[in-house]
């Protein structure tokens, strides 16, 4: 809902100024995939590699965000949509600050991922599909969530009682089987170098 009493404030320091100071091209690295697919571990490894070459980053992780910003949201489809909307808006602010922001969220619905993409410029959203088979995710199950979902103790659980819409055209598609976190992180760093987000 729009409010006529709210007027956008235009900053004197532009996104280009902020990015230039940092020596990088800001973007959102949007990691999506099932629970226990490896999103958080891979995002963390990528951020470590970026930090090692003095790039300016911030990592937003699903569980961490739900402890604060999105604490009041549940896991219904409606709450999942609102969860991603808020994360999209926060990610946009990080991009405007000139940062490379990494987000690790199941984000099961393509429509919501596309809405985040539309918040920024075409080349500022990089969808990274961590494609891990359901049976592999279940075998890991570090929090025991799949087991609880199978027993009906958790409702609206993605991959079991709630749908996951796999990306059809992600910029980076990782088949996360028989490959190490380090190898996956290197592939993503190579993409960022090849596309000019960071220096080669």
Residues belonging to the active site: 107
Strand, helix or coil at 150?
helix
Please, are residues 116 and 30 in contact by the beta-carbon 8 Å criterion? yes
d(CA 146, CA 143): 8
Backbone angles phi, psi at 119, to 5 degrees: -75, -20
Strand, helix or coil at 71?
coil
Please give the distance of CA 167 from its chain centroid, rounded to a whole number.
Answer: 13
Please, are residues 131 and 174 in contact by the beta-carbon 8 Å criterion? yes
Please, are residues 163 and 108 in contact by the beta-carbon 8 Å criterion? yes
d(CA 50, CA 44): 10
């Amino acid at each position: 809902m729009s409010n006529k009493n709210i007027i956008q404030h235009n900053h004197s320091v532009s996104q280009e100024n902020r990015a230039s100071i940092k020596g990088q091209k800001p973007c959102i690295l949007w990691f999506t995939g099932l629970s226990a697919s490896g999103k958080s571990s891979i995002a963390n490894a990528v951020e470590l590699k970026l930090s090692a070459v003095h790039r300016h980053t911030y990592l937003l992780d699903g569980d961490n965000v739900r402890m604060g910003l999105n604490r009041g949201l549940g896991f219904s489809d409606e709450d999942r949509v609102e969860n991603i909307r808020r994360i999209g808006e926060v990610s946009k602010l990080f991009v405007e600050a000139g940062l490379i922001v990494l987000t690790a969220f199941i984000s099961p619905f393509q429509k919501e991922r596309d809405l985040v993409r539309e918040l920024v410029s075409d080349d500022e959203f990089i969808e990274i599909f961590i494609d891990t088979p359901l049976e592999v995710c279940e075998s890991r199950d570090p929090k025991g969530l799949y087991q609880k979902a199978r027993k009906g103790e958790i409702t609206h659980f993605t991959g079991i009682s709630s749908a996951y819409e796999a990306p059809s055209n992600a910029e980076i598609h990782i088949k996360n089987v028989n490959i190490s976190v380090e190898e996956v992180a290197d592939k993503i760093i190579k993409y960022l170098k090849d596309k000019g987000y960071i220096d080669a």
